[in-house]
Amino acid sequence: MYKARYYKADGKKGRARELPVSIFDGVVNNGAMHQVVKAYLSNQRQGTAAAKTRSEVRGGSRKPWRQKGTGRARQGTIRAVQWAGGGVAFPPIPHSWRKRVPRKIRALARRSALNDRAEHDRVVLVELPIMEIPKTRDLKDFLSALGLEGKTLILTDGIKANLHRSSRNLQGVEVLPFGTESVYDVLWANTVVIELGAVHQVTSAKAGKEKMTDEALVEEAAKSLEGEDESSEEDEAADESASDEGEEE
């Protein structure tokens, strides 16, 4: 199990905290990360680049000069690709660059990226300072107190509008709600700063899911026992009716 450094809202360092195993399971799949990042960058493309072929350029319907006898190379139109103002050979055509990655591969890649950062001690748990108004200087001072180097990705517990606005003027700092970050965002950052409340939510959600699963198993077992009791009662009733019929005969 991975552990991460922990800092309080005033920038003071606390004891290291354990990261949830449901996400930080130690698996780093480079192939999945590569596939997801390629799809992410491809999906950022607009695919609107276009140029005209010789058939789409206006003009050029007349042969510029006769085929023979002029001493010049034969030409059929002034809109051919070798002419200035002519069409483009093999031009870019507008199309979609959209790529789809299976949901399980995306989840594996996200866990792999977070595990890679945790493995190299680049995941930090913090209690973020409460900001009544956007204040870039306060956020800058807080990050300076942590002693982080390079690009920083801050993952918050839900949407924190003031914190997000405070980071917009800081180069190399990105603020996103935890769970909405992409693999590219995690790999882009040198250090991933996660709010402690977001980690607690993941842990509590997993515990609630396990509790629901246990309750469902208990209910299913109770239903199966009730079904067995009903079937045994029906068998006993059938045996009694059969014995009564034999006595009447």
Residue 230 pLDDT: 62
Q: What does each C-alpha distance from 51 to 77, 83, 156, 164 come to in angstroms?
A: 18, 15, 44, 40
CATH says 3-29+102-201 is which class? Answer: alpha beta
Residue 238 pLDDT: 63
Residue 153 pLDDT: 97
Where do the structural domains in the chain lie, given as residue ranges?
A: 3-29+102-201
Q: What does each C-alpha distance from 203 to 24, 51, 208 come to in angstroms?
A: 12, 53, 9
State the amino acid at position 122 in one-letter form. Answer: R
Residue 11 pLDDT: 86
pLDDT > 90 in the chain, percent: 69
pLDDT digits (tens, 9 = 90+) for 67-103: 999 999 999 999 999 999 999 999 999 999 999 999 9
**Residues of the chain below pLDDT 70:** 205-218, 221-222, 224-225, 227-249
